[in-house]
Amino acid sequence: MDNIKKKTLLTLARASIAEAVGVEYSLDTKTLLEENPWLEEQGASFVTLTTSGDRLRGCIGSIIAHRKLYEDIIHNAKSAAMDDPRFPSLTQKEFDGITVEVSILSEPEPLEYDSIEELKSKIRVGIDGVVLKYGVYQATFLPQVWDQLPTFELFFSHLCQKAGMEADCLGRIPEILTYQVEEYKED
């Protein structure tokens, strides 16, 4: 099932990106849904695009499941290609040079803690995706980000900054939620 699931998710994302940039790509969505009814269930996904050398080229997703999984993947794939504010829209020329990754998220769970040390003891490096919330500030990192930011201190200082706060924002004891992902990446 895992190879079928991987192929299905990546084909759906790749076809959605192709449509967004105007590249011919044949996909019969009706047949895909008939053969994979699990795509009709509510789901939350992130679609990540990288170029050679694993350089980020776009990443957009949903933290909470709020629509059918296939709709979420289509929307997030197109948004990662065209609407990530950190990058210009993907071009037809770049289409064949990107690698597509789809992450399916579990439901985020609040993580109770009273100190940075307690948070550090509860976070599972390399396993947990993290949502940080404090007032109007919010950001998330998928578990894959641990590969680039492998220590607790690096990961959380960058997450605080991504949220628009100072690098040492953990001293404010922001709300923390954790989730895990099923990760599917093109070979």
Distance of alpha carbon 186 from alpha carbon 45, whole angstroms = 16
Q: What's residue 54's pLDDT?
A: 85
How is domain 2-105 classified at the architecture level of CATH?
Answer: 2-Layer Sandwich (3.30)
Tens-digit pLDDT string for the chain (187 aa): 589 999 999 999 999 999 999 999 989 999 999 999 999 999 999 999 999 888 999 999 999 999 999 999 999 999 999 999 999 999 999 999 999 999 999 999 999 999 999 999 999 999 999 999 999 999 999 999 999 999 999 999 999 999 999 999 999 999 999 999 999 999 8
DSSP H helices, 83-177, are 92-95, 116-122, 152-162
- The CATH code of the domain at 109-180 is 3.30.1490.150
Please count the CA atoms within 13 angstroms of the CA of 5 that sit on its side-chain side.
12
Q: So where are the chain's domains?
A: 2-105, 109-180
